[in-house]
Chains A and B, each alone.
Chain A
Amino acid sequence: MDFRHNILPLKNIVFRTALRIVLNREEAEDIVQDTLVKLWERREELGKVENLEAFALTMARNLALDRKEKMDNRHVTFDDDVHDRPDENTEGADKMLAHKETTGAIAQIINSLPEKQRTIIQLRDIEGKSYQEIANTLSISESDVKVTLFRARQAMKEKILQKKSFFL
């Protein structure tokens, strides 16, 4: 097991998947670091792992869900702070608005889906993974993957058609 050859090449797919879950670049980068370091620390067990990429993605998703939970909890206090000191937070709000504009309408649609749906969209439509690989990564059944993907694509279609009629 060589870090540069076996583990480091997973960084970008892990990054994109983590980013789709936490929706924050810095957090996603931290998750990639944590995931790859953890993989390296467990390198002796990795010989038994059938699909290293899926293994890494599962690990990254678990880390991402943990962080997201913590971030969501922090946001509650953030909101509380807004009531007390509204002036100090305007800069952050502006940044968030600018960020939304650059990510584009489709990104917004996908990112507004529930986490499981948008992670499956990421793995299927962006990374081109099979149902089996996705099921393996998320530790769910293939039919669960298909049902969730169906809901996600239907939601996207609906929103795309809404936008179209809105602009026409």
Chain B
Amino acid sequence: MDYKYIEQLIESYFACTTTLQEEQILRSFFSQEDVPAHLAQYANLFNYETKAKEEVLDEDFDERLMSQIEAAETKAEEVEKPRIIKLAARPFAERRFLGIAPQVFTPFFKAAAVVAIALTIGRAAEHAIGEQEAEEKGNVVAVDPYIKTSDVQQAIRVKDVSQAEMKATNDSIINIATKDEIQ
């Protein structure tokens, strides 16, 4: 029998020029009983390649692995629970306070915010004016002690007017804010 083809395949195998199919042919060839003596040295190699693919895990591996998977699942669920609550935290509009729907409070919160803004601006304006007044009065008194009382009174009146203007501005801010709220 002529083994030229097989001999050539063996040579190609060691040169790494065989295809996967040709390598399978070699394994099939060596799996037969009567391999010619001059090729017998390679029989162990190709038979080992076949045999090594039959190496598998023990029977009880699946069972052990499945219990590990289940344990991992339970652990994952435990870890996820608080996360779910955090991520799915109900939006403010759905939360209840003392059992009352928050929609009921919304106008009050808005009104409170408007009042707070108005107060802040008012206080700031008053403060600024007060300071300015004090400064002016101080200056007037200190720099020119002989100034006419009527002049000082005139200055104060002017300040009163500007204070009244400031109040009007505050009122219009409140009006705008209230309008916003209504809208």
Contact = CB atoms under 8 A, between A and B. Distances in A.
Q: Tell me if A's interface is mostly helix, strand, loop or mixed.
A: helix
Interface in A68-108: 104-107
Interface in A14-39: 15-16, 19, 29, 32-33, 36-37
Contact of A146 (B14, B16, B45, B52): B16
Size class of the contact patch on chain A: 35 or more
B48 A29 contact: no
Given A157-B14, A160-B42, A125 B49 contact: yes
Given A33-B64, A37-B68, A153-B13, A106 B45 contact: yes
Nearest to A154: B14
Contacts of B52: 16, 107, 122, 126
Nearest to A129: B20
Interface residues of B, number: 27
A106 B27 CA distance: 14
Interface of B: 13-16, 20, 23-24, 41-42, 44-45, 48-49, 52-53, 55-58, 61-62, 64-65, 68-69, 72, 76
Interface of A: 3, 8, 11-12, 15-16, 19, 29, 32-33, 36-37, 40-41, 104-107, 110, 122, 124-128, 130, 146, 149-150, 153-154, 156-157, 160-161, 164
Pick the 8 closest A-B CB pairs, nearest first.
Answer: A106-B48, A150-B16, A126-B52, A12-B56, A125-B49, A164-B41, A157-B14, A153-B14
